[in-house]
A and B are shown apart, each in its own frame.
Chain A
Amino acid sequence: MKKKFISAILCGVLGISMISGCGSSEGDKESQRQTASKSAADSGDVVEITFWDNYADTIRTELYGKLISQFEEENPGIKVKYVPLPADQAKSKYDVAIQSETTPDCGVTYQYWLNDFIVQDALLPLDDYMSSWDKKDELLETFQNSIKEMSPDGKTYGLAQTVTIPAVWYNTDIFTKADTEIPQSWDEILAAVEKTTDKENGVYGFSIRGGAGSSQQFEQMMYQYSGITEMFDENGNSTINDPAHVEFLDKFAKLYNVYTPESDITNASTEMISAFDSGSAAMIFHNIGSYGQHRDTLGEGKFGALVNLKSIQDTNVIVSNGATTLSVFKNTKHPEETFKFVSWLTEHSADSQFNEKIGQVPCNKEALKDEWVRKSLPIKESADALLDENTKIATLPINVTGYFDLHQNTLAKEFQNVLLGNTTAQEYLDNWASEMTRLKKQYDEKVVQK
């Protein structure tokens, strides 16, 4: 009887401790975080932090390995555990980690994911840490300010590491063979698509991204064409169904299956880039990040990038979907060490090394002046455009909660209907505008005001 009683008590205690262990309060967590960070610093123990990369590939794994070694050498008290995530699963991995409270200390994210994480209270604001960081002014203000301004509470939840500038890539050999001038505006591009198409030899003027990510990419193209820099008008209505966009989409959809391969309708970025790199497409629209692939397959000098196209308003607009960012997760027990690491990655040397290797545009102003940037034409053009005061930057409404889901769930699929002629450009963009206006209103009411 006595044994049974003791067993029951022990089971009860164990059960209660398990339940209570699941639900520590926010105050407890903050206190644990401070204690852990302080005790580690005081005792001189080595602190291990986990770092998730949202785009696993061999180049980046090797590169981050090298950068982490440099960082650990400079900071012997901090050890970084690198975890590469497959690109197509990275967002869901982060979401699951947030729900199960198993987030890493820090990770690479996209600016257009940040608000999804912020509303789940998963990220640590970095403003306090940044105030005592002497290299913060090296970051490109355009993107760093945009990260801050686009968060619902006006705090900084990420440091800009890389910016993916959209570009029209063209194959110089195909243009020469077709005796066609390099275009400088979207209207000229549309004309060049017809001229450079040579179906008999398996060459198409353009390869469209009609599958995953199609609508997001097309959104950039439309705003670059129209020169509109505001995503919503003064009444909070989306500008996506502006007549200029309807006109552009209408013209563009007519190219499909005439001057483009039929299979473009299911193209994700990989297939589209392959079409360009294999020489079967004269042009594609993709960010500057594919530069390395074009260089390796077509060879330097065999292709070019149009970054600063003239809009119909005769302005130069770069339409950005934000920067690639480095964020610190709220669950970290070592916020100071983690911030030290992510900020170190955005400093001149690390940011320059990283972007040179992956062929992207660094968000560090000093890195933008480096020799390798000047030598690589597409990166140089992007850097020049970013540093040019006349260039207008239009940032897509990536902060509106539900924006990403709308593209994934509805807009990409409906875009295929536009290409097939089942839906008109006007209907498509009207529906898009109506959904974006609704989401923006919901965001303002439920997220910002709250």
Chain B
Amino acid sequence: MQKKQKTVLTPYLLILPAVLFIGCVMIYPLCKVFYLAFQNYNPTMPFLNGFCGIDNFVKILTTGEFYSALLVSLKWVVSEVGLQLVFGMIVALILNQSFRGRGFFRAMTFVPWAMSGVLTAVLFSLIFNENFGVLNDILRKLGIIKENVAWLANSKTVLGSVVVAELWRGIPFFAISLLAAMQGLSQDIYEAAKVDGCTRFQTFRKITLPLLKNTIVLTTLLRTIWEFNSVDLIYSLTGGGPVGKTTTLSMLIANQALTTNNYGYGSAISVISFFILAIVAVIYIKASGFGKESDE
């Protein structure tokens, strides 16, 4: 009887360190954010600190900055994930072909992924600079523009410019993930398709794409979460400006909590963001039927 009890307890004891670790670094901070969301908490204004009920949520939902940031987040995530997937797929298809120097190009493709957000921001701030940026120089020489454009300061071009910078950094993730999945596909199917006279496009649409579905769903979901939470590049390139045109929800949280010490309000935005992401993830997984084929 005693031996049986020991056997039952052993697995729990073995996973206890991991559970404690996750509890300390994930569960506790998460609970703290939920707790702070219902507090007025600003260390520099201790006289106002204390329980405030749902005041933070009411303030968030009744001010324009939240909806504006949500809209920017939506544009940011959809354009980033969509474009990165398309370009990543193109790069993966090219790198899946046999050609000389393929190993070198595969390695080079991964380089932007290894770049830090701040370094990427420095590179692109030089490229997009109004006065000495290389982009304006090229466009002027080609006769496309007559006057220099302030890519990162013009409210019409700023979001597109930051999207391009992040796109450059994000393509390798899709390219490498899709390439790895492509290499795991059986060549027999492709040979059969060739025998049946399928064109390259038909092969891609009817064979490659369906077989990559699970990888596409997983990578787009992961990337959606990462892009939604992404701050580094936007923070370094524009700081969320001008006039909030690049202020995503994550930027808004960073500004509230880190710059102005408004931890209660910032935590409340985090809680709303958490639920938005959770709902989107569940709907996306359900709608895409992720993992169903493998279960069957």
Question: Residue B155 at the A interface, CB < 8 A?
Answer: yes
Q: Which 5 A-B pairs rank lowest in CB-CB distance, beginning with the nearest? A: A262-B150, A263-B150, A116-B44, A263-B153, A263-B130
Question: A450–B150 contact, CB under 8 A?
Answer: no
Closest residue of chain B to A268 (Cβ to Cβ) is: B239
Question: A413–B241 contact, CB under 8 A?
Answer: yes
Closest residue of chain A to B128 (Cβ to Cβ) is: A263
Task: Give me 24 A-to-B residue pairs in the complex whose CB atoms sit less than 8 angstroms apart, sorted by A's number.
Answer: A92-B261, A95-B44, A99-B43, A120-B43, A202-B131, A210-B153, A210-B242, A261-B130, A261-B131, A262-B154, A263-B150, A268-B239, A401-B45, A402-B44, A402-B45, A405-B262, A409-B259, A409-B260, A409-B262, A413-B243, A420-B155, A420-B242, A420-B243, A446-B48
Question: Residue A422 at the B interface, CB < 8 A?
Answer: yes
Closest residue of chain A to B245 (Cβ to Cβ) is: A416
Q: Which of A264, A278, A280, A409 contacts B153 (CB 8 A)?
A: A264
Those of B196-243 within 8 Å (CB) of chain A:
238-239, 241-243
Query: Which chain B residues border A263 with CB–CB below 8 Å?
Result: 129-131, 150, 152-153
Question: A265–B43 contact, CB under 8 A?
Answer: no
Q: Which of B47, B130, B150, B239 contacts A211 (CB 8 A)?
A: B239
Distance to closest chain B CB from A281 (angstroms): 10
Chain A 247-277, CB-CB to B under 8 Å as 1, else 0, gives: 0000000000000011111101000000100
Question: Residue B120 at the A interface, CB < 8 A?
Answer: no
Question: Residue A119 at the B interface, CB < 8 A?
Answer: yes
Question: Residue B46 at the A interface, CB < 8 A?
Answer: yes
Query: Which chain B residues border A116 with CB–CB below 8 Å?
Result: 44
Question: Residue A447 at the B interface, CB < 8 A?
Answer: yes
Closest residue of chain B to A210 (Cβ to Cβ) is: B242
Query: Which chain A residues border B119 with CB–CB below 8 Å?
Result: none
Question: Residue B255 at the A interface, CB < 8 A?
Answer: yes
Distance to closest chain B CB from A245 (angstroms): 21
Given contacts A210-B242, A263-B150, A409-B259, 18 further A-B contacts (CB under 8 A): A92-B258, A92-B259, A95-B43, A95-B261, A98-B43, A211-B242, A262-B150, A262-B153, A262-B154, A263-B129, A265-B153, A266-B238, A266-B241, A405-B260, A408-B260, A409-B255, A413-B241, A420-B242
Distance to closest chain A CB from B2 (angstroms): 15
Question: A446–B47 contact, CB under 8 A?
Answer: yes
Instruction: State the majority secondary structure of interface residues on B.
Output: loop
Question: Residue B244 at the A interface, CB < 8 A?
Answer: yes
Once the chains are docked, how many angstroms separate the CA of A212 from the CA of B42?
21
Question: Residue A32 at the B interface, CB < 8 A?
Answer: no
Once the chains are docked, how many angstroms separate the CA of A445 from the CA of B43?
18
Distance to closest chain A CB from B178 (angstroms): 36
Q: Which of A268, A409, A416, A446 contacts B243 (CB 8 A)?
A: A416
Question: B45–A408 contact, CB under 8 A?
Answer: no
Query: Which chain A residues border B150 with CB–CB below 8 Å?
Result: 261-263, 265
Distance to closest chain A CB from B63 (angstroms): 11
Once the chains are docked, how many angstroms separate the CA of A416 from the CA of B244?
9
B interface residues, tally (CB under 8 Å): 29
Once the chains are docked, how many angstroms separate the CA of A409 from the CA of B129?
26
Query: Which chain B residues border A266 with CB–CB below 8 Å?
Result: 152-153, 238-239, 241-242
A422-B256 in contact given A266-B152, A409-B262 (Cβ < 8 Å): no
Those of A181-239 within 8 Å (CB) of chain B:
202, 210-212
Q: Which of B46, B129, B255, B260 contacts A120 (CB 8 A)?
A: B46
Question: Residue A417 at the B interface, CB < 8 A?
Answer: yes
Once the chains are docked, how many angstroms separate the CA of A202 from the CA of B137?
13
Question: B45–A119 contact, CB under 8 A?
Answer: yes
Query: Which chain A residues border B130 with CB–CB below 8 Å?
Result: 261-263
Question: A409–B256 contact, CB under 8 A?
Answer: yes
Once the chains are docked, how many angstroms separate the CA of A202 from the CA of B130?
11
Query: Which chain B residues border A95 with CB–CB below 8 Å?
Result: 43-44, 261
Those of A65-119 within 8 Å (CB) of chain B:
92, 95, 98-99, 116, 119
